[in-house]
Structure 1
């Protein structure tokens, strides 16, 4: 590659890389019409640490179905067909491909659309690079040694770089296989270099001083967040009128439009020397010699747009097989009840062989279920962390349980119909369109919303504009952004003169929500209070009295909110967090509250697809299925106490500038 800019921390330069020749030699070469068996490709993938799955979804996975092999390669290069023309494809990151065979010959190579799992663009030739390339010491290389001779190396704060490298090597588990700072320094010596330093070091003729100043003076400087935004923007407008060129970089047309609106409120029109280009600047600066000020939208307004690739949500088909079942999982058979899935067995019978599911029940009784009757078996989904009790084959208990559940479902349906009829008759609160304050509140959110969040808040607001009271269930895992949506709904209700109650199951959660609500509502005249066991009797009495008088806009609390002495002057919205964790008595009070107020229920409990479909006609549901960017699965490791293991774990986290929370079972 030419005209390439590479930014890297010194820790990355310490890591050895595979030699180019080792990459070529260890790659999997795929060519149309080439003779190679699917088994040979699968063997290569397994040897190179690819994971076998049913459908590829992440780099490093592969799947095989007969004469089709899907590979999600972390690194590839090859030739693709564009409008029937063959085009060289440069090396690129993670790419999902499908290889189809006719016998032992490669019939086609195509890219895969991961959303549909269908093949798309045709590929003539492809090299899949092995993740373990260069594993042998002789095949490793220092990154600086493969750079072209005309490369320019820029060191930012060389003394700091050296210190970071030495600390990293001292803490690294495998320091012996890493390159020392001396190796990197000597390899870089043959290139032209530019050192960027805060303070000059050396002879005056060796450095060039730039009059670059910080733009910290224009960042938020008022206690009130929004007032600070407007004050800083007003100062920038004034500087542009004094002859300075001001460039305020925005990342979207919506940001540009909003800044223009604020400037027009301040000065009627955008000054001639005030530019609003589209682009991203990580950190602004002032060039005094050129009378130029460069600042970014996120520095001025505290909003950081996400700049990393987002993993898309896969719209999967309904599960109609047991491919997701693992031996040991609990299942439910329509006739026999709760059992344990042991696996699939092939049994000889008249006319050939057939596959059967083996299910274990109480007293070690085993039942064989033909795969043709797969519809009778479902995966067990329970709310209790305890293992379910296995049903007894031949007992009438399972049948009685089903009858009892059927009756409960009928009672619940009747109750839902009654409540819904009352809600239809009484009517709800009709809210208008978003106001300027609502938009300001939402734009002060410091992160970029996920597509699911945008869709869910649109549905919530549509419900609030209807004449019928809202009753919406908001589903999403922890950290998926449910609370932010609840706060936006609460803001809309408060702005229209209504009170909001936020009901949570635990005291800790009430404190957490109170802190979050207080921070988000800090710039607006919204009174937020919390009612829990941490409040003294006098404090609780005062909060209840002010709530009754309408002086509290948002009241957050545990089941204490359902006490008889708590009354609202004009309750418009009830937000319930994890309703399933409240008792029968509390739910009875909630039923009475549901009749004439908007209800938004939040839950982190995943809802099975079948249950979701069954509830669609009875209750409005919004699902947040898009995970936070770069979120990884939590790894829990249970081991005997070992100081060296703890030391390595802590150093690994410190090396990535992370944090460690050490929880001990006792204090001595």
Structure 2
């Protein structure tokens, strides 16, 4: 969408040339991600995108995916203190990203400075721990099981989450980060007869593989010196680094005062700095403007869309899912604006609706493009809704609000049991922690200054509540299902509001 713009062509040429430092000004909001995505489409290569926070990482990666770039968030070190168990989802995500980088795949890895500083196993150690299994291979099944244990995989009765394996008879199931679902290996003696992907819910086969790559899970070492391996050592030589917030280059972290400045860490790498405001020292200026929020005022939205169309602009309205897109199409039709729901941004329609997740809209006058995200179209709505089975619970104002053995809900890890307050020595200071126990006896220490993450469990029957597993996917699935339920309810409300907005009322006579 930007490729015919001379200013962008200049940027792409300099990006391909590997400028040591390229300053780009003028890009607002998700237009930054559009520019990065199109650069990677023109010049495919691995790239690192450094952002200020985890929330920024999620938004930037989400926007990159919307614009067609393969993007991944690299997890930070877990901030809590763990006792027993692993955060296998994060370990699996690290393993998958590291593998793709070492293979030179043209992916965008979005990181925070803290994630960039996370110590990792050495590349040689990672390569040695990678298992490549193919049909008709002969190998000792027991040695395979030992290798899975060594690679950090958890033995379970039924494989449902990444980083797990199980064995029964001549069948070994394993869920590698390189695949979206687990694989089933069927043995005939020491020979692998078949490798099939399967649905962990139904256990039904979804396809066959000739080869399965089992990656070692990338756990963060508990202790590491300054010379330990970091993510940059997995990034191919010459791969560029994009800094979303150049102020980060010289900032020091209060949480890690010994960490080197970011500018020093990435020194010698080609880098692109994205500035919001156009500045005299910028090498390239790309004007992308923020857009107004219509907050459900569709008369004004339709007037502006028709004006943009008359001026030759391409207008794209973004909806989160197909149902929401269809509702938006109906609302616009009721306001005398006929549109289509299209599969891609670059369709011939002057005004169209695109399905996807985008953090915010923007306008690029130079190429005649306006993109409105769902938040600009509908605005942020606050709704009072029925509580789901799992709920945020009663907010805590102090740890004294809890009694030992109370059930609690941690925002990131789900239902656990409060075991009391513990004081631990951290460096040269004593610190207080809430001790929470989860399934399988795994324990989590939560700093009292993060009390906002914990609330009392308010289920109808606390005695029947099941503890979640630390590092498991069950709590994430619950949150996703709740989001889906809320979205469905929101869609029904939108339908209702749309019908009300076009319904014809009846004027009654005055009182007699």
State TM-score, norm by structure 1. Answer: 0.40
Answering whether residue 240 of structure 2 is matched by residue 152 of structure 1, we say yes
Q: Secondary structure of the residue that 1:7 maps to in structure 2?
A: strand
Shift of residue 284, structure 1, vs aligned partner: 0.8
Residue 52 of structure 1: aligned partner: 155
Residue 646 of structure 1: aligned partner: 433
User: What CA distance in whole angstroms lies between the structure 2 residues aligned with 1:4 and 1:49?
Assistant: 25
Unaligned 5+ runs, structure 2: 1-103, 341-347, 395-410, 424-429, 435-443, 457-512
User: What CA distance in whole angstroms lies between the structure 1 residues aligned with 2:455 and 2:446?
Assistant: 9
Shift of residue 9, structure 1, vs aligned partner: 2.4
User: What CA distance in whole angstroms lies between the structure 1 residues aligned with 2:105 and 2:414?
Assistant: 38
Deviations 1:471-502 (A, max 9, x none): xxx9972359xxxxxxxxxxxxxxxxxxxxxx
Query: Relative to 1, partners in 2 of residues 1:49 and 1:4: Cα closer, same or farther, differing over 3 Å?
Result: closer
User: What CA distance in whole angstroms lies between the structure 2 residues aligned with 1:241 and 1:652?
Assistant: 58
Shift of residue 50, structure 1, vs aligned partner: 2.6
User: What CA distance in whole angstroms lies between the structure 2 residues aligned with 1:66 and 1:210?
Assistant: 62
Deviations 1:482-524 (A, max 9, x none): xxxxxxxxxxxxxxxxxxxxxxxxxx99xxxxxxxxxxxxxxx
Residue 167 of structure 1: aligned partner: 254
Q: Which of 360, 371, 380 in structure 2 is aligned with 1:294?
A: 371
Q: Which of 163, 166, 169 in structure 2 is aligned with 1:66?
A: 169
User: What CA distance in whole angstroms lies between the structure 2 residues aligned with 1:270 and 1:128?
Assistant: 46
Query: Relative to 1, partners in 2 of residues 1:167 and 1:233: Cα closer, same or farther, differing over 3 Å?
Result: farther
Shift of residue 129, structure 1, vs aligned partner: 1.6
User: What CA distance in whole angstroms lies between the structure 1 residues aligned with 2:354 and 2:240?
Assistant: 29
Residue 460 of structure 2: aligned partner: none
Answering whether residue 208 of structure 2 is matched by residue 131 of structure 1, we say no
Residue 237 of structure 1: aligned partner: 306
Residue 635 of structure 1: aligned partner: 416
Deviations 1:209-265 (A, max 9, x none): 4433221x2332xxxxx5x34444444434444555433234555545444443343
User: Size of the alignment, in residue pairs?
Assistant: 312
Deviations 1:267-315 (A, max 9, x none): 4656998511424333111234455422123431248xxxxxxxxxxxx
Residue 197 of structure 1: aligned partner: 275
Query: Relative to 1, partners in 2 of residues 1:53 and 1:245: Cα closer, same or farther, differing over 3 Å?
Result: closer
User: What CA distance in whole angstroms lies between the structure 1 residues aligned with 2:209 and 2:363?
Assistant: 49
Shift of residue 155, structure 1, vs aligned partner: 0.7
Shift of residue 130, structure 1, vs aligned partner: 1.8
User: What CA distance in whole angstroms lies between the structure 2 residues aligned with 1:662 and 1:248?
Assistant: 38
Query: Relative to 1, partners in 2 of residues 1:40 and 1:652: Cα closer, same or farther, differing over 3 Å?
Result: farther
Is 1:19–1:134's contact at 8 Å kept on the other side of the alignment? no
User: What CA distance in whole angstroms lies between the structure 1 residues aligned with 2:387 and 2:336?
Assistant: 44
Unaligned 5+ runs, structure 1: 76-91, 221-225, 304-443, 450-473, 481-507, 510-629, 664-668
Is 1:243–1:291's contact at 8 Å kept on the other side of the alignment? yes
User: What CA distance in whole angstroms lies between the structure 2 residues aligned with 1:264 and 1:130?
Assistant: 53
1:41-440 residue pairs with structure 2 within 5 A? 41-73=144-176, 75=177, 92-93=178-179, 95-132=181-218, 140-160=228-248, 163=251, 166-170=253-257, 180-182=259-261, 184-199=262-277, 204-215=280-291, 217-220=292-295, 226=296, 228-241=297-310, 244-252=313-321, 254-267=323-336, 274-280=350-356, 281-302=358-379
Is 1:237–1:274's contact at 8 Å kept on the other side of the alignment? no
Q: Secondary structure of the residue that 1:213 maps to in structure 2?
A: coil
Q: Root-mean-square deviation (CA), in Å?
A: 4.3
User: What CA distance in whole angstroms lies between the structure 2 residues aligned with 1:24 and 1:273?
Assistant: 48
Query: Relative to 1, partners in 2 of residues 1:653 and 1:235: Cα closer, same or farther, differing over 3 Å?
Result: farther
User: What CA distance in whole angstroms lies between the structure 1 residues aligned with 2:250 and 2:355?
Assistant: 33
Deviations 1:75-122 (A, max 9, x none): 3xxxxxxxxxxxxxxxx2454122223334433333223233244533
User: What CA distance in whole angstroms lies between the structure 2 residues aligned with 1:289 and 1:126?
Assistant: 48
Q: Which of 435, 458, 477 in structure 1 is aligned with 2:389?
A: 477
Shift of residue 14, structure 1, vs aligned partner: 1.3
User: What CA distance in whole angstroms lies between the structure 2 residues aligned with 1:118 and 1:237?
Assistant: 50
Query: Relative to 1, partners in 2 of residues 1:632 and 1:239: Cα closer, same or farther, differing over 3 Å?
Result: same
State TM-score, norm by structure 2. Answer: 0.50
Shift of residue 199, structure 1, vs aligned partner: 4.3
Larger radius of gyration between Structure 1 and Structure 2: 1
1:519-598 residue pairs with structure 2 within 5 A? none
Query: Relative to 1, partners in 2 of residues 1:274 and 1:181: Cα closer, same or farther, differing over 3 Å?
Result: farther
User: What CA distance in whole angstroms lies between the structure 1 residues aligned with 2:144 and 2:432?
Assistant: 37
Q: Secondary structure of the residue that 2:335 maps to in structure 1?
A: helix
Higher relative contact order (CA 8 A, sep 6+): 2
User: What CA distance in whole angstroms lies between the structure 2 residues aligned with 1:160 and 1:632?
Assistant: 30
User: What CA distance in whole angstroms lies between the structure 1 residues aligned with 2:419 and 2:194?
Assistant: 46
Shift of residue 25, structure 1, vs aligned partner: 0.7
Query: Relative to 1, partners in 2 of residues 1:191 and 1:181: Cα closer, same or farther, differing over 3 Å?
Result: same
